Amino acid sequence: MPKLSTKEQWDRAAAAVAAHADALRAATTHRELRAWAEAQDLTDPASQWVKVKAELRKQHDIDYDQIRADTLAQESKALAEAGDDAPTITLCVAGDAEVNSFAVCAADNDSESWYGEYHPNDRIYVEGDELSAEKSAADKAVFLAGKAREAIGADAVRLTILTTHPDLDAADFAATANRYRVIVDVEHTEQNPAVALTRAPGYRTWREIRLDRLVTHTTPA
């Protein structure tokens, strides 16, 4: 689709939201709303999606962001309550905006690691921004913990993320955590082997990791 002007984006968003009023009012989760928008090609560029959310609120009193926040909070609470005896994983994370790289590794074994440069289309990292670099690395840690959960056949896992960044918060990863059934805590540390790995030459993919070795505690059968 050719690039649209701001006016054209607003007009397109308004028309689509008006034309699908019944379906949109019937949606019960933010995921249904997002899926509808994606099917209508209304989420890219991001500026188009912003206008769609505004029209949802204006025309139908549907607050997408609030629905999303409420849903994720409820899911996180249910997951935490169901995971009292879940296996545990501890991962160190780091993002380096100077060299556009990240690293995720086991706290006690940095040979089990995932590191390299951010993909140009990374959905979280903004080039040159340190906090987004750390958030992206942590989001990858949540994904990795989810893959480890699948590998050992557990219903859920508890992940402790170790970071040197003071502003990282578990709420930043609620969507990924709920999707992969990972209960996330964030702790701050100055002893973080992931920091050095952000400057390691080359790269290592998550598929090279022995996933079961990431688990530091399992519930006795």
pLDDT the model gives residue 95: 97
Output the pTM of the full model: 0.74
pLDDT at 142 over 80: yes
pLDDT the model gives residue 180: 93
Distance, C-alpha 157 to centroid of its chain: 16
pLDDT the model gives residue 46: 85
Range name among 37-41, 105-109, 138-142, 160-164 with the lowest pLDDT average: 105-109
Domain that holds residue 163: 81-217
Cβ atoms 117, 203 nearer than 8 A: yes
198 and 99, same structural domain? Answer: yes
Q: What is the mean pLDDT of residues 108-132?
A: 91
pLDDT the model gives residue 218: 61
CA distance 49 to 100: 27
Q: What is the CATH number for 146?
A: 3.30.420
Instruction: Name the domain count of the chain.
Output: 2
Ramachandran bin of 202, using left for φ above 0, alpha for ψ from -120 to 50, beta for the remaining angles: left
190 and 119, same structural domain? Answer: yes
pLDDT the model gives residue 176: 92
pLDDT the model gives residue 103: 97
Give the position of tokens 């689709």: 1
Cβ atoms 91, 162 nearer than 8 A: yes
pLDDT tier at 220, thresholds 50, 70, 90: very low
210 and 177, same structural domain? Answer: yes
Question: Is residue 68 domain-resident?
Answer: no
Q: Tens of pLDDT along 6-44?
A: 999 999 999 999 999 999 999 988 989 999 999 999 998
Q: Tens of pLDDT along 62-111?
A: 999 999 888 888 877 877 776 678 999 999 999 999 999 999 999 886 77
Question: Is residue 72 domain-resident?
Answer: no
197 and 94, same structural domain? Answer: yes
With residues binned 3-state (H G I as helix, E B as strand, rest as coil), the percentages for the chain, rounded to 5, are 50, 20, 30
Q: Tens of pLDDT along 170-199?
A: 888 888 999 999 999 999 998 999 999 999
